[in-house]
A = this chain, B = another copy of it.
Amino acid sequence: MPTPDRTSLEAIVEAGRDIVESEGPTGLTMQAVAARVGVRPPSLYKRVKNRDDLIRLITKATIRDLGDRLAAVEAEAGTGDASGPELDPRRTLADMARALRGFAHTRPAGFGLVFAPQTSPGGADVEAMTVAVAPLLRVAATLAGQEYELEAARTVTAWASGFIAMELAGAFNLGGDVDRAFEFGISRLADALAARPAN
């Protein structure tokens, strides 16, 4: 007769996310995860292939949350709420960038996992990422035109993720107002993408 399950994949991933945020990626040991979900380390291998696999699952869950935030911004802009419909795509783009930054501030380590430069190749998060970024792609198309949709979306994503990564790493050490720099960047960027110059 099988024993009732003492944990679940979901609980393991959730525990992993918590640990990553509180202890950093280094703190994410199989022992720590096991302790948190109340089993012994070897039991984890019934649900995840290994530590890298767990990190992949944590990253994927983070990407999904991130996509939810972008979708929420898009929905707000599209339908219009109490403050009225938001028609300027530049404003929507800025809101999405701010949503991304807000998310990064609440889950800095998770954000780091998603946008880490040294990701293992063939990460199966490709699909999740594609879905998550779809709203951004749509505003980019509205703003820069269908022809430059991909380029515009990549420009914004690159800028925002780079900015936030540097911010989280404490790279903005020359003083100055980081919020101001963020608003400066998104404003100029939105203008530039909407400009559609000849080249």
Please tell me if A168 contacts chain B, counting CB pairs below 8 Å.
Answer: yes
Range of interface residues on chain A? 35 or more
Q: Which residues of B contact A199 (CB under 8 A)?
A: 187
Q: Are A166 and B157 closer than 8 Å at their CB atoms?
A: yes
Please tell me if A139 contacts chain B, counting CB pairs below 8 Å.
Answer: no
**Chain A interface, >50% SS class:** helix
Q: Are B184 and A148 closer than 8 Å at their CB atoms?
A: yes
Please tell me if A151 contacts chain B, counting CB pairs below 8 Å.
Answer: yes
Cβ 8 A contact of A188, one of B24, B155, B181: B155
Please tell me if A84 contacts chain B, counting CB pairs below 8 Å.
Answer: no
Please tell me if A42 contacts chain B, counting CB pairs below 8 Å.
Answer: no
Q: Mark A142-169, 1 if CB is under 8 A from B, else 0.
A: 0000001011101101111111111011
Cβ 8 A contact of A176, one of B117, B129, B151, B162: B151
5 A-B pairs with the lowest CB-CB distances in the bound complex, closest first: A162-B162, A192-B192, A158-B163, A112-B117, A158-B162
6 contacts between A and B (CB under 8 A): A111-B117, A115-B162, A117-B168, A154-B172, A158-B162, A162-B163
In the complex, besides A115-B166, A148-B184, A154-B166, 19 extra interface pairs with C-beta distance below 8 angstroms are: A108-B117, A115-B165, A116-B116, A116-B117, A119-B169, A123-B170, A151-B181, A158-B163, A158-B166, A161-B162, A161-B165, A162-B165, A187-B197, A187-B199, A188-B189, A188-B192, A188-B193, A191-B195, A192-B195
